[in-house]
Amino acid sequence: MSRRPPPVHFASAALDALSANLAILNENGVIVTVNRAWVEFAGANGGGDDVGTNYLHLCDAAVGDGAAHAHAVAAGIRAVLAGQAMFELEYPCHSETEQRYYVARVTAFRQDGECYALVAHENITRRKLAELEVISLNVTLEARVRERTVALEASEQALQRTNAELIKRNDELSQFVYVASHDLQEPLRILGAYADILRHRYRGQQLDERADTYLLRITQQVDRARQLVRDVLTLSDVAPNPPREPTDLAAICCEVRDSLPWPSDGRVECGADLPQASANPAQVRQLLANLLGNALKFRSAAPLHVQLSGNPEQDRVHFVLRDNGIGIAPQHADKVFVLFQRLHSRKSVGGNGIGLAVCRRIVERHGGRIWIEAVPGAGGGTAVHFTLPSLQAPTGDPALASSQGTAAERPSPGS
């Protein structure tokens, strides 16, 4: 059984069901039919159903803000009737009360040997407003990014100027400390010399015993001041970017050990198989001299035993100098690296509290870290840990600085 084609009025009902404003034009541009949406839109804007009107003439005669778009639609209709596959144009169609956007689409078809154009105007306001909102947000974001970029560049320039000024001031301060320390040496030497002359020449004669004691204290304080000046010079002489080379800490440890007044029953193990570090030999010598000097200064009644060991850790070498001395309380493990900080009285143990501050500066100048592992209890001893760049770590390697910075953030063993 053959199925009959749907009645013609089905096509008309289908056109009326569409939300787009539809019109069918003949090859001369005359409107032959429209759908319900077209009629409603035309009525709301002061028109009628427009059937029988030449739509091309209406578009050509348009004036005002929408004239350019109307002329473009007319040209598109003529192009499609002449054989172009399709024409499409988005355009604004604002009313007094709202913003509206439409898209015009034109296609052609043939019926009974005649050519017709199907013109559809579809409301795309919601989509267009969303697109415009995205564009506006993008513009705002780009403006903020530009502002932020300018601000960051200004901050970077200000930071560079500040760093340059700090470097200049540090250089000037270092120069001042160097000159002032050298200038202080001479008056201190003269003061000490004259105090010695008075003490030895007039002892027991014009001066009584109390005066002799006062002169002795003057001499002692002058010696202390001269040593303090030498210590400050040592601290200021630690270069910020020392030239590095493969450095054998075991050999330097042996040299420093032999230069110190080591007790006959003392034992120092410098580690025969220590990995080499990329360091400045002169500064490493100062580092080990201070650490071994402290081990000698703070030894206990037991025979002194000091051991230097080291293990490679990625791009650095982790060294440990252990002793069996009097040790240090865990709560003071960080305090001892502060400049002029002392945990013992000057009468019991000499020094000015600069040695470990110099050690920290040397290690940090190499991009490393230094800390103390303290064993609670008398005679527990002390382990000084410090890291130096390995031979595989190039000078100024940011990865090394980053890894050292990470290490500096974790708590020190024993602290």
What is the per-residue pLDDT across 120-168, written as a single tens digit (0 to 9) for each? 999 999 999 999 899 999 999 999 999 999 999 999 999 998 888 887 7
* 229, 186 Cβ separation under 8 angstroms: no
Q: 171: burial class by Cβ within 10 Å (0-12, 13-18, 19+)?
A: exposed
Q: Which residue has the higher pLDDT, 134 or 16?
A: 134
d(CA 25, CA 81): 10
213, pLDDT greater than 80: no
Q: What is the pLDDT of residues 57-83, one digit of tens each?
A: 999 999 988 899 999 999 999 999 999
Pick the range with the lowest mean pLDDT from 59-63, 103-107, 205-209, 256-260. 205-209
Helix (H) or strand (E) holding 237: none
The pLDDT confidence band at residue 214, using thresholds 50, 70 and 90, is: confident
Asked whether the predicted pLDDT for residue 412 surpasses 70, the reply is no
Q: Kindly report whether the global pTM for this prediction surpasses the value 0.85.
A: no
Q: Under 8 Å CB-to-CB from 329, ≥6 apart: which residues?
A: 374, 376
Q: What is the largest CA-CA distance in the chain?
A: 152
In the predicted structure, residue 406 carries a pLDDT above the cut 50: no
Q: What integer is the mean pLDDT of 349-370?
A: 78
Residue whose token pair is 């200064």: 297
Residue pointed to by tokens 């009629």: 39
Q: What is the mean pLDDT of residues 227-253?
A: 74
Q: Report the distance separating Cα 308 and Cα 355, nearest Å.
A: 18
CA distance 84 to 107: 8
Once rounded to an integer, what is the mean pLDDT over residues 289-300? 84
Q: Which of 233, 410, 168, 156 is nearest to 148 (CA)?
A: 156
Most confident listed range (142-146, 255-259, 343-347): 142-146
Q: How far lies 407's CA from each of 53, 315, 316, 395, in Å?
A: 85, 13, 11, 18
> How confident is the prediction for the chain on average, in pLDDT?
79
- Block residue for tokens 């007044």: 261
Enumerate domains of the chain plus CATH numbers: 8-123 (3.30.450.20), 126-237 (1.10.287), 241-409 (3.30.565.10)
Model confidence at 6, pLDDT cuts 50, 70, 90, reads low
Residues of the chain above pLDDT 70, percent: 75
Name residue 117's beta-bridge partners: 25, 108
Q: Give the pLDDT of residue 148.
A: 92
288 burial level (CB within 10 Å; 0-12, 13-18, 19+)? buried
265-293: average pLDDT = 88
Q: Write out the E strands in 155-275.
A: 245-247, 267-269
Does residue 330 carry a pLDDT above 90? Answer: no
